[in-house]
DNA sequence: ATCCTTGATTGATATATGTCAATGGTCAAA
DNA sequence: TTTGACCATTGACATATATCAATCAAGGAT
């Protein structure tokens, strides 16, 4: 959909499908979030230099509509309720980033995969047996590890009866134990 | 100054000294930023649930003044320029967080210490031979590693002539090489 | 001066994690 | 059916990094 470093003149509203937004780092990508309908993609560059500071690409067939950022900015200036709501949203986003950073920097792989699984099940697909439409590489890019490592952790979870994987259908069997793993790092 | 999880009813303006803001994670801390005069401490909780989502404590003797958040919120609603400026600041903050996350998750220790040294020299102390007023543990908490590892990397940099350390006076001798290390991870 | 606390440093060791290479499965195009 | 491309999986191995324990240096208080 767009690449890090390119000019950004619109903000994007995803109306169907699923999109990943990710930073292209040193040889690997870090997925910041998955965006599902109806949610917005609005990067920090909009109020700075009108560049994208992350890339976005569809992981499922996705439709979206674009809104010129100048319209958005006018709305912010003219409507205090809108501005306040926007600040609330970005605050929540920041909070989410905090949790993510702590997970990525202070937990080991098992805890990070656990967090990613909960993110997918609770926040993205919103069901428990859920259909993984993202690749193992994407899962690894969410959890900040190599895809081989991610696969190995999944295998361990399967062996311990925490998880079943049938094709791309994932089911978390033992939520409590997985929460435990998330907590203890 | 305040602890993660406590209620936050004011925003803080640091008028002298140096303060670290950090997240208390699983057994270790992650320093998000150092705050020097004159800058503000304004967490994401202010517009959500009025709680602090990170802790702050002084690393040098620090004075600060407090402003009730309700005053701040009124200003946001009544003054579009102020609101826009605030959004710009938080955008810049978000951008900085992005760089930080990439550094922490995709670079190895040498690159992360290099980044931390540049942060201290260029953004915080703003001189090149600079007086490290933070501890090695703090340096480690900025770079997301154990203090022993941080010390070892510093030692290597000294041996390679990139850095001199005299007491708490640090001088980056070979900026170009250190940039190189930051780039190559 | 001596003690005591705190932070810095060093070494030895364990382990978490990445890398590389090989294999297998699946699906679509020819 | 066969081929090829792509993704998932597995194993063997190298190495980055944390942990633990010990030592050392510098002040402050008694």
A-B Cβ pairs (cutoff 8 Å, strict): 120
pLDDT at A12 (0 to 100):
93
Average pLDDT over residues B135-142: 97
pLDDT digits (tens, 9 = 90+) for B149-169: 999 999 999 999 999 998 899
Q: Could you check: is the Cβ of residue A36 within 7 Å of any atom of nucleic acid strand D? A: no
CATH superfamily of domain region A10-102: Jelly Rolls (2.60.120.10)
Confidence label for A167 from pLDDT (cuts 50, 70 and 90):
confident
Residue B111 CA, nucleotide D26 C1', distance (Å): 31
Residue B93 confidence (pLDDT) above 90: yes
Entry pTM: 0.93
Q: Does residue B69 contact residue B8 with C-beta atoms inside 8 Å?
A: yes
From B183, which residue of chain A is nearest by alpha-carbon distance?
A: A26
Checking if the pLDDT of B24 tops 80, the result is yes
- Domain boundaries for CATH 2.60.120.10 within chain A: 10-102
Beta-strand (E) ranges in chain A?
10-16, 19-24, 29-35, 39-41, 55-58, 63-68, 130-131, 163-166, 169-172
Architecture in CATH for domain B10-103: Sandwich (2.60)
Residue A47 has pLDDT above 90, yes or no: yes
| DSSP codes, A122-176 | IIIS-SSSEE--S-HHHHHHHHTS-HHHHHHHHHHHHHTTSEEEETTEEEES-HH
Distance from CA of B28 to the nearest CA of A (A): 8
For the domain B107-184, what is the CATH code? Answer: 1.10.10.10
Query: Degrees (nearest 5) of the Cα angle A149, A150, A151?
Result: 90
Mean pLDDT over each residue of chain A, to the nearest integer: 94
At A185 the pLDDT is 76
> Phi and psi of B180, rounded to 5°?
-55, -45
Q: What's residue A137's pLDDT?
A: 97
> What are the pLDDT digits (tens) for A13-40?
999 999 999 999 998 999 999 999 999 9
* B33-60 residue pLDDT tens: 999 999 999 999 999 999 999 999 999 9
Which chain B residues are within 8 Å of A30, Cβ to Cβ?
A: 101-102, 105-106
B166 touches strand C (CB under 7 A): no
Domain(s) of CATH 1.10.10.10: residues in chain B? 107-184
CATH 2.60.120.10-classified regions of chain B:
10-103
């Amino acid at each position: 959909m767009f690449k890090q470093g390119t000019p950004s003149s619109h903000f994007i509203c995803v109306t169907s499908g699923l999109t990943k937004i990710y930073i292209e780092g040193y040889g690997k990508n870090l997925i910041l979030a998955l965006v599902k309908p109806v949610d917005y993609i609005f990067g920090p560059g909009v109020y700075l230099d009108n560049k994208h500071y992350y890339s976005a690409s569809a992981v499922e067939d996705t439709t979206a509509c674009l809104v010129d950022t100048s319209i958005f900015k006018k709305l912010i200036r003219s409507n205090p309720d809108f501005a306040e709501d926007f600040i609330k949203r970005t605050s929540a986003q920041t909070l989410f980033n905090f949790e993510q950073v702590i997970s990525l920097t202070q937990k080991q792989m098992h805890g990070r995969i656990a967090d990613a699984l909960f993110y997918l099940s609770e926040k993205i697909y919103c069901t428990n047996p859920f259909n993984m439409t993202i690749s193992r590489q994407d899962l690894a890019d969410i959890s900040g590890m190599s895809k081989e490592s991610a696969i190995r952790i999944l295998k361990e979870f399967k062996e311990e009866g925490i998880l079943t994987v049938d094709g791309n259908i994932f089911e978390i069997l033992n939520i409590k134990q997985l929460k435990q793993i998330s907590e203890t790092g």
